[in-house]
Amino acid sequence: MWKERLCEESLRPITKAPMNRLTSSTTSFIRSLTSARSMAALAACTAICIGSLSLADTQVRLKSGQSWRGELNSQVEVTFKENGKDQVVKGKLLRADQRVIQVERELSGKVSTKTILVADIVTMTSVEGAPATTDGAATGTAAGTTTGTTTAAKPDATKPADPGAFRGVYYMPIKGTVGIGMREEEIRKIGEEADKAGPGQIIVLHIDSPGGIMNEALEIHKTMLELRKRHRVVAWIRKAISAAAFTAFHCDEIYFESSGNLGSMTMFAGQTAVQGQLLADWLEFAGKVAQEGGRNPQIAQCMIKVELELSYDIPPGGGPKDAIFRPDNKGQHILDTSKTMLTFNATPALECGFSDGTADTKEDLAKLLKIPEWREVNDVGENLYESWNRLLERCGEEVEELVYTFGIKDAGGDPVRAMGAQIKTIERLLMWYDRCQECLIEAQMDKGIPVPPKEALEQRLKQLREALAEARRQQRDAGRGN
Which positions lie near other proteins, rule CB under 8 A?
Answer: 2-4, 6-7, 10-11, 13, 208, 210-211, 239, 241-242, 257-261, 263-266, 268, 271-273, 304-306, 339-348, 358, 360-361, 400-401, 403-415, 418-419, 422, 447-452, 467
Q: Which is nearer to other proteins, 84 or 450 (CB)?
A: 450
Cβ at position 211, least distance to other proteins in Å: 8
Whole-angstrom Cα distance, residue 75 to residue 317? 24
Closest CA to 215 of 267, 274, 262, 261: 267
Cβ at position 35, least distance to other proteins in Å: 21
Q: Which is nearer to other proteins, 155 or 179 (CB)?
A: 179
Is-contact 216 176, C-beta < 8 A?
no
Q: Which residues contact 381 (CB under 8 A, 6 or more apart)?
A: 170, 171, 172, 173, 190, 193
Q: Which is nearer to other proteins, 196 or 473 (CB)?
A: 473
Cα angle for residues 43, 267, 246 (degrees, 5° grid)? 70
Whole-angstrom Cα distance, residue 173 to residue 257? 13
Cβ at position 3, least distance to other proteins in Å: 6
Q: Which is nearer to other proteins, 79 or 337 (CB)?
A: 337
Closest CA to 416 of 362, 368, 464: 464
Whole-angstrom Cα distance, residue 78 to residue 92? 11
| Partner residues linked to 212 by β-bridges | 178
Burial level of 185, CB count in 10 A (0-12/13-18/19+)?
middle
Cβ at position 272, least distance to other proteins in Å: 5
Q: Which is nearer to other proteins, 103 or 265 (CB)?
A: 265
Whole-angstrom Cα distance, residue 305 to residue 341? 7
Is-contact 113 318, C-beta < 8 A?
no
Closest CA to 217 of 185, 165, 178, 270: 178
Q: Which is nearer to other proteins, 134 or 405 (CB)?
A: 405
Cβ at position 410, least distance to other proteins in Å: 8
Q: Which is nearer to other proteins, 39 or 342 (CB)?
A: 342
Q: Which is nearer to other proteins, 53 or 310 (CB)?
A: 310
Whole-angstrom Cα distance, residue 179 to residue 440? 12
Whole-angstrom Cα distance, residue 289 to residue 49? 9
Cβ at position 207, least distance to other proteins in Å: 13
Q: Which is nearer to other proteins, 99 or 409 (CB)?
A: 409
Residue ranges in 344-414 assigned as alpha helix (H): 346-351, 362-368, 380-405
Number of H helices, E strands in the chain: 14, 18
Whole-angstrom Cα distance, residue 346 to residue 173? 19
SS3 160: coil
Q: Which is nearer to other proteins, 65 or 448 (CB)?
A: 448
Cβ at position 252, least distance to other proteins in Å: 23
Cβ at position 226, least distance to other proteins in Å: 29
Whole-angstrom Cα distance, residue 202 to residue 230? 10
Cβ at position 70, least distance to other proteins in Å: 38
Cβ at position 446, least distance to other proteins in Å: 10
Cβ at position 239, least distance to other proteins in Å: 7
Q: Which is nearer to other proteins, 105 or 409 (CB)?
A: 409
